[in-house]
Amino acid sequence: MGTTSKTIHSAGEEDTARAAAALADEAAPGTIIALSGPMGAGKSVFARGFIRALCGPDTEVPSPTFTLVQPYDSPKGPVYHFDLYRLEAPEEVLALNWDEALKDGICLIEWPEKAGTLLKEPTINIEINIKNQTDRDIKIKGTV
């Protein structure tokens, strides 16, 4: 485990999934990953690759846009995929098993800014920037 700051170029969804799988290999309970980027940048693609790396390649990983959180069991412990896009107030996260998930699970959080001050400092910040229709730059900063 060490601190990293790097940018990975992704030429498509497979590259994004590979980058996510490499990060999943380093994750442990208590890891909090904040996924930022505009709509359509590939945050859910990254989360899907990460979760499948931990839970198996055939794991169904729907976007939690409407459920707000989707839990998974992995050999490393519980994994929580949050999508906070639809939150109207930060306090709404408290109804989502938020505190326990952040403490004991591996958490992937899309739209982390919606949690306001209820999100403690993420372990890893990932910013996905759109270069063109398929290419992305994935900036990874934090402790892995």
Q: What is the CATH number of the domain that holds 47?
A: 3.40.50.300
Average pLDDT value for residue range 46-64? 93
Average pLDDT value for residue range 7-23? 95
* Pairwise CA distance, residues 66 & 54, whole Å: 23
Identify the CA nearest to 75 among candidates 53, 97, 58, 102. 53
With beta carbons less than 8 A apart as the criterion, state whether 119 and 94 touch: no
* Pairwise CA distance, residues 112 & 104, whole Å: 18
Q: Is the pLDDT of residue 24 over 70?
A: yes
Looking at residue 55, what is its pLDDT? Answer: 96
* Pairwise CA distance, residues 30 & 106, whole Å: 6
Average pLDDT value for residue range 15-35? 95
* Pairwise CA distance, residues 120 & 30, whole Å: 11
Identify which has the larger pLDDT, 13 or 67.
Answer: 13
Confidence of residue 2 (pLDDT cuts 50, 70, 90): low
Confidence of residue 7 (pLDDT cuts 50, 70, 90): very high
Average pLDDT value for residue range 97-105? 93
Domain assignment of residue 47, given as a range: 3-143
With beta carbons less than 8 A apart as the criterion, state whether 138 and 10 touch: yes
Identify the CA nearest to 64 among candidates 90, 35, 89, 99. 35
Average pLDDT value for residue range 80-104? 94
Q: How many domains does the chain have?
A: 1
3-state secondary structure (DSSP) of residue 10: strand
Q: How many CB atoms lie within 10 A of CB 50?
A: 28
Is the whole-model pTM more than 0.75? yes
Confidence of residue 3 (pLDDT cuts 50, 70, 90): confident
